Structure 1
Amino acid sequence: MNKLNAIWQENKLFLLFIGLMVMFRSAVADWNHVPTGSMQPTIKIGDQILVDKLAYDIRLPLTHVSLHKLNDPERGDVIIFDSKVSDKRLVKRVIGVPGDRVAMKNNRLFVNGNALKYTAVSEQGGFKVLNEVLGETTHKIRIRNANTRASNFAEVTVPSGHYLVLGDNRDNSADSRAIGFIPRNEIVGKSETVAFSLDYDNYYLPRSQRVISPLDET
């Protein structure tokens, strides 16, 4: 017991710092590594994105227990959630909120019977990049020139307490088309900013233009 007390006395400032950092990253803000391209072109492989964990809830640290709800996710938000179905943390875009009717035809979305607006940005190597207008949010999506099985789904209604999410890389994303609607209590936070980014195709060198920058900044 005396030995433990001596260790505490000698290291208490460091241990308190570590404890506070763990609490901060668990309940206030954190960063997440993005190892896949399911959110391209918005989020690049190698991005470290900042996660605002107070965007929607004040949570009990180290848990998903909400102590107080601050806001609900909105269409267009990029959310981070711990998916029980896929058993991993995922990053996707909210397309449908509770009560919404959502359908996809040839990679074009319809929300509550209204077709979203699309404009062409670029085309290369069998892929197109389009601007997609979702409510007050305009963001880029990436689709194949030729439609795939993932390019269509019949109209569904988002149930209470759940959200329909899609990756911006529409033909290469395990999202609500594969794992179903996302329960509200699985959502960890919201992201709008890249902290920094490493270019995996260029010896992991930092991308200088993606340091504390908006997600959709190229």
Structure 2
Amino acid sequence: MKTWVRDNKGFIAFMLMFGLFRTAVADWNPIPSASMHPNLLEGDVVFVNRLAFDLKVPLTNKVVTHLGEPQRGDVVTFYSPSDGTRLIKRIVAVPGDTVSMENDRLTINGQPASYTLPSGAVETLGNVGKLQAVQITEKAGAAEHRIQLLPEIMSDKRNFAPMTIPPGQYMMLGDNRNNSADSRYIGLVPRELLIGRAERVLVSADIEGNWHPRTDRFLMALNR
């Protein structure tokens, strides 16, 4: 064993440095589910900037210093406050915001979000099959992006009463609003559980088809 370590010390050092780089500077995140449709698809691999918000001690959630402020509209990776699962969602409310939802429509700080340009789509759910989906553009303040609704899904999570986001907490919602386990289920997310900001799709493949590369999505920026 000692001989193997001595003969491969350069490789071992490289792997250690690479591991530290991934946990402290930059990372990538495969998209495993439909919760961010229509903007992120299963088979996308996104680049995550771990220095967007905080500098942390490698391999921990201990924050050394703040480097930037999470903004409404940021797509972020984080650890679920419920069970520690690594998730990717969009920030819809930051500390100090008062946010509510009525029939899937957001109101932030007394200003209802606007919704325009509907288009049809089809969503396939595991034990349900194919459902009609509606994709619309949601604009809440400076944040504007497409979201998806599933009118056939009955859920009490389409509504919640006004709540003010406390210091150091963030509300996360999936863009696929009726098929996302987000802050409506797992609660608000503390800042120390944020991993980083997802900034672009690195590569993409049709994992539900023939694994054909979706080259039109390579290096696609994730706009707010």
TM over 0.5: yes
What are the within-5 Å matches in structure 2 for residues 73-84 of structure 1? 73-84=70-81
Give 5+ residue unaligned stretches, structure 1. Answer: none
Deviations 1:90-110 (A, max 9, x none): 101101111110000111100
Cα offset, 1:198, TM superposition: 1.6
Residue matched to 1:23? 20
Task: Among all aligned residue pairs of Structure 1 and Structure 2, give the percentage whose two residues are the same amino acid.
Answer: 40
Q: Which residue of 2 aligns with 1:207?
A: 214
Q: CA deviation at 1:50?
A: 0.7
Deviation at 1:70, TM superposition (A): 0.5
Counterpart in 2 of 1:185? 192
Structure-2-length-normalised TM-score: 0.90
TM-score, normalization by structure 1 = 0.92
Q: Is the CA contact 1:96–1:158 (under 8 Å) kept in the aligned structure 2?
A: yes
**Shift of residue 114, structure 1, vs aligned partner:** 0.5
Question: In the TM superposition, what are the counterparts of 1:90-129 in structure 2 within 5 Å?
Answer: 90-125=87-122, 126-129=132-135
Q: Deviations over 1:159-181 (max 9, x none)?
A: 11101110000001111100111
- CA drift at 1:112: 0.6
Which position in structure 2 is the counterpart of 1:47? 44
Q: Which moved more, 1:143-152 or 1:181-190?
A: 143-152
Q: Is 1:65 paired with 2:62?
A: yes
Task: List aligned pairs for 1:5-16, cutoff 5 A.
Answer: 6-16=3-13
The superposition leaves residues 90-137 of structure 1 with CA deviations (integer Å, 9 ceiling, x where unpaired) of 101101111110000111100011001110231234211111112222
Residue correspondences, number: 213
- Per-residue deviation, 1:11: 1.1
1:10 and 1:148 mapped to 2: Cα distance? 59
Q: Which amino acid in 1 is paired with 2:121? A: Q
Contact 2:100 2:160 in 1 (8 A): yes
Matched residue, 1:151 = 158
SS at match of 1:205: coil
Contact 2:81 2:187 in 1 (8 A): no
**Runs of 5+ in structure 2 lacking a partner?**
123-131
Q: Displacement, 1:8?
A: 3.5
Runs of 4+ aligned residues of structure 1 deviating over 4 Å after TM superposition are: none
The reply to whether residue 194 of structure 1 matches residue 194 of structure 2 is: no
CA apart distance, 1:197: 1.1
